[in-house]
């Protein structure tokens, strides 16, 4: 039986329960929200915009919670709305928790010493201010900056996902540079694997995971081999060009990875203008279709 206090085990159990590896990215760009959500909102009033954004995100969560074990709010889209946006983010996180979803905040935090400790204490675990289950972390200030996040995640039963090989076109500028006998991203991957193995749960996966993009399937397959005990968060599916066949390389025996889609799910209503259904139905269908595509690619 999995250890419910180990994030790696909790995530494994959630994916098994829903037979899904879908992670729904909440990137609520205001101009892309449904007209019915934006209608009547005074766009010069940040409180009104934040309230409408919150409503949209809550309804996305309601529409996808059956097909997706994980939701990933992108902090930037709430931060840009000011204090009202941050209050909305907190309420969105609480709603996702009530709906039984694992909340992975995409904040890409990273700093030195006591500042890293502050970030870790702020975001990780049910006892933290933000009550997130997991957080994305930037390792490029050094491996010592990861340790406060690692310690907090261990204490709180939470998880972190360390940026290893990201999905953006310019990732090679730094991540692909050769140092010693490998690349920068390989060196980060080795550190992630060591940390994951030290905190490995009964599922075989630890509380320290990695971010590896679907847009680089060869590197994804390589990273799966180099990090057998780390969960992998795979962005880049759908709108960024990654396919189900690409992301299957990130799985180990059908587990160990979650695949993020943001625009492809939350703005699915824009893809079929002829649809007679509601935007919520389009979002729900997109999440279920993605779940089925991933299952089919892995032969499940």
Write the CB contacts of 287 (distance below 8 Å, at least 6 apart in sequence).
22, 24, 63, 64, 67, 68, 265
Write the CB contacts of 291 (distance below 8 Å, at least 6 apart in sequence).
18, 19, 20, 21, 22, 67, 68
> Of 18, 19, 72, 108, which is the active-site residue?
108
108 is a catalytic site residue: yes
Residue linked to tokens 């979002």: 283
For residue 23, the cross-strand partners are: 70, 260
Backbone torsions φ then ψ of 6, nearest 5 degrees: -95, 125
How many whole angstroms separate alpha carbon 26 and alpha carbon 235?
Answer: 13
In the DSSP assignment, the letter for residue 137 is E
Which residues have a catalytic role annotated? 108
């Amino acid at each position: 039986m999995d250890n419910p206090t180990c994030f790696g085990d909790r995530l494994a159990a959630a994916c098994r329960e829903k037979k899904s590896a879908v992670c729904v990215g909440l990137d609520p760009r205001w101009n892309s929200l449904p007209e019915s959500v934006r209608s009547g909102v005074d766009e010069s009033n940040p409180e009104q915009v934040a309230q409408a954004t919150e409503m949209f995100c809550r309804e996305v969560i309601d529409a996808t919670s059956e097909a997706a074990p994980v939701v990933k709010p992108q902090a930037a889209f709430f931060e840009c709305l000011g204090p009202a946006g941050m209050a909305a983010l907190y309420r969105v996180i609480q709603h996702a928790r009530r709906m039984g979803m694992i909340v992975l905040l995409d904040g890409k935090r990273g700093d030195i010493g006591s500042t890293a400790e502050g970030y870790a204490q702020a975001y990780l675990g049910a006892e933290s201010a933000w009550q997130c289950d997991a957080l994305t972390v930037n390792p490029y200030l050094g491996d010592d900056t990861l340790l406060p996040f690692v310690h907090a995640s261990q204490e709180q039963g939470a998880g972190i996902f360390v940026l290893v090989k990201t999905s953006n076109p310019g990732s090679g500028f730094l991540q692909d540079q050769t140092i010693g006998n490998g690349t920068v991203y390989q060196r980060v991957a080795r550190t992630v694997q060591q940390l994951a193995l030290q905190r490995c749960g009964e599922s075989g996966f630890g509380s320290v995971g990695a971010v590896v993009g679907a847009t680089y399937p060869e590197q994804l397959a390589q990273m799966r081999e180099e990090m057998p005990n780390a969960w992998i968060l795979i962005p880049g599916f759908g709108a960024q060009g990654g396919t189900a066949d690409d992301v299957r390389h990130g799985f180990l025996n059908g587990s160990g990875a979650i695949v993020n889609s943001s625009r492809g799910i939350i703005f699915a209503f824009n893809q079929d203008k002829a649809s007679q259904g509601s935007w919520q139905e389009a979002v729900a269908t997109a999440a279920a279709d993605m779940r089925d595509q991933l299952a089919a690619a892995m032969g499940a």
